[in-house]
Amino acid sequence: MISDREWADLLHTRATDPQAVHKLYTTRARRASLLTDSGTMFLVAADHTARGAMGIPGDPNAMVNRRSLLERLLIALENPAVDGVLGTPDIVEELLLLGALQNKIVIGSMNRGGLAGAEWEIDDRFTAYTASAIADLGLDGGKMLLRIVDNDAGTVPTLQACADAVTALAAKGLMAMVEPLPYRRVGDKLQLLKDGPSLARATTVASSLGETSAYTWLKLPAPEEPDFVLDATTLPTVVLGGVPGPSVEDDIASWGRSLRHPVVRGLVVGRALLYPPDGDVAGAVEAAAKVLHEGVKA
């Protein structure tokens, strides 16, 4: 929990000492490697709110309360199996001010302009970290969302922007984490395509972005046909959590099936762990860590 004193100090620093944030970026103790000695990486995702995605099933405003969100992130980051966080500047800086990111992996989220539910959602502009900022601030890489919709021309500028970001990050020797998700527009709604061929196609498109793929990682949903999809790439891959299902146990089991594939290096999960149905964040994180460990052993 964040004490009242800690919360007051955070708000005071935000209002009176903006340079404190930059100092914490540049003096943060960093990990020597993205992967643990076991060859895995486990991150908590915290970039949903930047594009107006505030809800979980049953509660459209679950993530509105920032203090509650930060407290849940602190609980997750306290687990030694959690290697770090994927977030936008506001979240990352609040965690820095709370002292939670020393010796942690920090991946900066880059394109959040495709606001959830907006008419232009697929034209996902880069509105957060840039490649230069990620390098200058000592972050460990950048993540970008690439929603591929064949019947929405907004996909094209996002494709180009992601390719440029992959190139820029690689030029600085930094990981580019690309999250390719195939969608179909049905009326005014977007429908995620979860079948193997659609996911495999999106995987191959993302793998070829930029001038080099040497620093590219993929962030993919756990497919129903893990081998069919994951055999489409040699790039290191992490499994994303996605929208939480009614049972965190079922979600974790689905991730475990993909963790057995040799290209998969770990998990990047947000709402499913931060807002589990029973409210036990620590328990959900520990269960996910166990599945990651067992998947690597398999």
**What averages of pLDDT result for each successive group of 10 residues across the chain (298 residues)?**
96 98 97 94 97 93 97 98 98 98 98 94 96 98 97 95 98 98 90 95 98 98 93 97 71 87 95 93 94 76
Query: Is 116 within a domain?
Result: yes
- What's the whole-model pTM score? 0.95
Query: Is 154 within a domain?
Result: yes
- How many distinct structural domains can be found in the chain? 1
Query: Is 262 within a domain?
Result: yes
CATH of the domain at 236: 3.20.20.70
Query: Is 276 within a domain?
Result: yes
Query: Is 17 within a domain?
Result: no
Query: Is 4 within a domain?
Result: no
Please report the pLDDT score of residue 243 as a whole number.
Answer: 66
DSSP labels, the chain: ---HHHHHHHHHHHHH-THHHHHHHHH----S-SS-TTS-EEEEEE-SGGGT---BTTBTTTT--HHHHHHHHHHHHHSTT--EEEE-HHHHHHHHHTT--TT-EEEEE----S-TT-TTTTS----S--HHHHHHTT-SEEEEEEEEETT-TTHHHHHHHHHHHHHHHHHTT-EEEEEEEEEEEETTEEEE--SHHHHHHHHHHHHT-SS--TTEEEEEE--SSHHHHHTT--S-EEEE--S--S-HHHHHHHHHHHHTSTTEEEEEE-HHHHS-TT--HHHHHHHHHHHHHHHHH-
Query: Is 11 within a domain?
Result: no
Query: Is 3 within a domain?
Result: no
Query: Residue 50: which domain range?
Result: 31-297
